[in-house]
Structure 1
C-alpha cells in the first residue's frame, strides 16, 4: 500500500510539472555539446578575472565561505547549465544574474570549461558509513522510489554527465542548504524535478547525514 501511494504521489507530481513552465531552457543538443567541446579555458580565465569570480568562488574555484559552492572540477555541462539558468532566471540569485546577464552562451561555455579544468577541493578523511546511509548512497530506497545517490552522482560523488553535479568536494553547509531549497521548492531548475522529489522524501536527518558524508572540511 505504501509503495502504491508513493507511486501515485510521484505520478501526480510529474503531471503538475509537465503542465508548468520548463525548469530550464538548456537542451544538451548537438549544437550545445559542440560549443562546450570547442570552448576555450584561456578565454574563460580572462572572463573570470574580468567578472571577479574569485570574490565568491576563490582564486582556484574553491570558496573561502562554506555557504558558497566550490566550482572547481564541476562538469562543464553542469556549470554551463547553471549559469545559463541564472541568466534565464530559472535559478534565483541576484548576484549571479548580474554577473552573467551580459555574457553570451559561448562566454558561459568558456567559463565552464575553465573552472572544470581546475582541481576540485580535496576531500576530507574517509567517513564511516552506517547501514542506513550505505543503503541511501549505493542501493536507494524502492519503498520511497529513491534512486541511489551513485546512480546520478557517481560512486565517488564526482558527478555524471550533463546536469549531474559533483557533490564530493562541497561544503556541508552548502549541500544542506541546496537540498533544503529543493525540498521546499526554493530551487526548481532540476530537470524532471529529480532533486525536488529526492529531497522532498528525504528526512532532515538524512539530508544532514548525506551532506556530512560527501562534504570536505570547512575553510579555515
Structure 2
C-alpha cells in the first residue's frame, strides 16, 4: 500500500452528501398505425403516451451496465463529482472506480427514500433500473485519483484500517473493504481507496449519530461500528483512507507503506 502524506487537513465543517445524477436517455416507442376516422386522427400526444404505457405491460429485462450509454446519462454529475468521477470539492464523494452494483444500490435507496437527500431524491426518481446500471458502469470504468493523508494521523489510521481496535470492538476496515481499499463487489462492500477524508469523516459522524440507509443487514453494519469510534478515531481513519492507494507498478498486489 502506498500513502501520500500531506500537511494538516482542516476539520470538516458540515456534511453534505449530494450525488447528482441526471437522466439524459431517451425512450423510443413505435406502434403500428391504425385506421381511424378523420375526426379522431389527431390524437393528443399525452393521450398517446398514456395508451403506450399501459399498466401490466412487460418491461425490458435489465442488462449489465453500458459505460458508453452511461456517459451521456451521467453528464450532469460532473458539476459535483467531476466529469471522470474525481470530484474536486471534498464534500462530494469520488465515484471513479466505484462498483456498478454499489452505485445502483445507493441510487435505488435515494429513489425509495431509504437514503435521504433532497437533491438526490429528485435526481434518482426518474431513473430506471437500467439507467442506474449504465451510470454505475460509466463511473466504475474510471480510475480514482490518489489522495493524500495527514502524516500526523497515519499511525492511528493505519491501526484502525488494518488491525481494528479490539479494546473498542472495532474490526479492521480491510476485512471488508480489502487491503488496498478496492472493496468486495461480491459481498457488496464498496471501494474506499483515495476517497476524500472530509466525505469519509462526515459520513462516519453521521452513522455515529444514528443515521442509517435502510433496514437490511448491510445497512446496519457501519452505523454499529461508527458508534464505537470517537472523533479522533474517525478523523484518523478518514485521513488514512484518503491516502490509501495501490502503489505504482504493484499490478494489483498490495504494497506496504
TM superposition score category, shorter chain reference? 0.7 to 0.9
Between 1:114-123 and 1:175-184, the stretch displaced more is 114-123
Q: Distance in 2 between matches of 1:149 and 1:44?
A: 31
Matched, 1:69 2:69: no
Kindly indicate whether the alpha-carbon contact (under 8 Å) linking 2:93 and 2:196 is maintained by their aligned counterparts in 1. yes
Q: Distance in 2 between matches of 1:119 and 1:215?
A: 14
Q: Distance in 2 between matches of 1:156 and 1:126?
A: 18
SS in 2 for 1:142: coil
Say if 1:142 and 1:192 are closer, same or farther in 2 by CA, change over 3 A.
farther
Matched, 1:97 2:121: yes
Matched, 1:203 2:236: no
Structure 2's unaligned 5+ residue stretches are 1-60, 245-257
SS in 2 for 1:201: coil
SS in 2 for 1:53: helix
CA RMSD of aligned residues (A): 2.3
The TM-score with structure 2 as length reference comes to 0.64
- Whose helix fraction is larger, Structure 1's or Structure 2's? 1
Q: Distance in 2 between matches of 1:97 and 1:121?
A: 28
**2:131 paired residue number:** 107
**1:191 paired residue number:** 218
The TM-score with structure 1 as length reference comes to 0.74
Matched, 1:170 2:195: yes
Say if 1:125 and 1:199 are closer, same or farther in 2 by CA, change over 3 A.
closer
Q: Distance in 1 between matches of 2:176 and 2:130?
A: 26
Larger radius of gyration: 2
Q: CA deviation at 1:35?
A: 4.7
Residue-pair matches, total? 180
